[in-house]
Amino acid sequence: MINKGFEQYKESSIMTASPEELTLMLYNGFIKFLMQAQMAIDEKNIEKAHNNLVKAENILVEFQATLDPKYEISNNLYLLYDYMYRRLTEAVLKKDKAIIEEVLGFARELRDTWSQAMKAAKQQTVRLQQIAK
């Protein structure tokens, strides 16, 4: 029963989240899958490691698909996501924790930067609302 309630809460959170919040959720999921893959490698659970790496790769594909190429930063992010995807493909083949750790470093930095940008945007919105009053 608790699991069902949690799943409903999680689904509701996703359905009501802003695009910015959804992106943050994807970054968090990406990091979670990478960490789970590392743990699975430690546990010698190759199938679990493989499945989590594939989930992480799928998130990278989603990130690439949502980029708007008219912005220069989108082109830079596309190249970074492509690099990370290629490294994860190598990690899938080798079950190499060092590769996963490299990608995890990029993922955490991107997530933290995105989170800071969201906070800055919220503060800017509040300031503009205060000025408008």
Does some domain include residue 17?
Answer: no
Does some domain include residue 12?
Answer: no
Question: Quick one: pLDDT at residue 3?
Answer: 65
The answer to pTM > 0.95 is no
Burial class (CB in 10 A: 0-12, 13-18, 19+), 74: middle
pLDDT in tens, the chain (133 residues): 556 654 554 555 556 788 899 999 999 999 999 999 999 999 999 999 999 999 999 999 999 999 999 999 999 999 999 999 999 999 999 989 999 999 999 999 999 999 999 989 888 877 777 787 7
* CB 86, CB 117: distance < 8 Å: no
Does some domain include residue 7?
Answer: no
How many domains are contained in the chain? 1
In this structure, what token pair is assigned to residue 85? 């995807």
Helix axes 19-42, 46-65, angle to 10 degrees: 160
Question: Quick one: pLDDT at residue 2?
Answer: 58
* Residue-range definition of the domain harbouring residue 108: 23-127
Report helix, strand or coil for 34.
Answer: helix
Does some domain include residue 33?
Answer: yes
Domain at 121, CATH number: 1.20.120.340
Does some domain include residue 9?
Answer: no
Question: Quick one: pLDDT at residue 5?
Answer: 58
Does some domain include residue 92?
Answer: yes
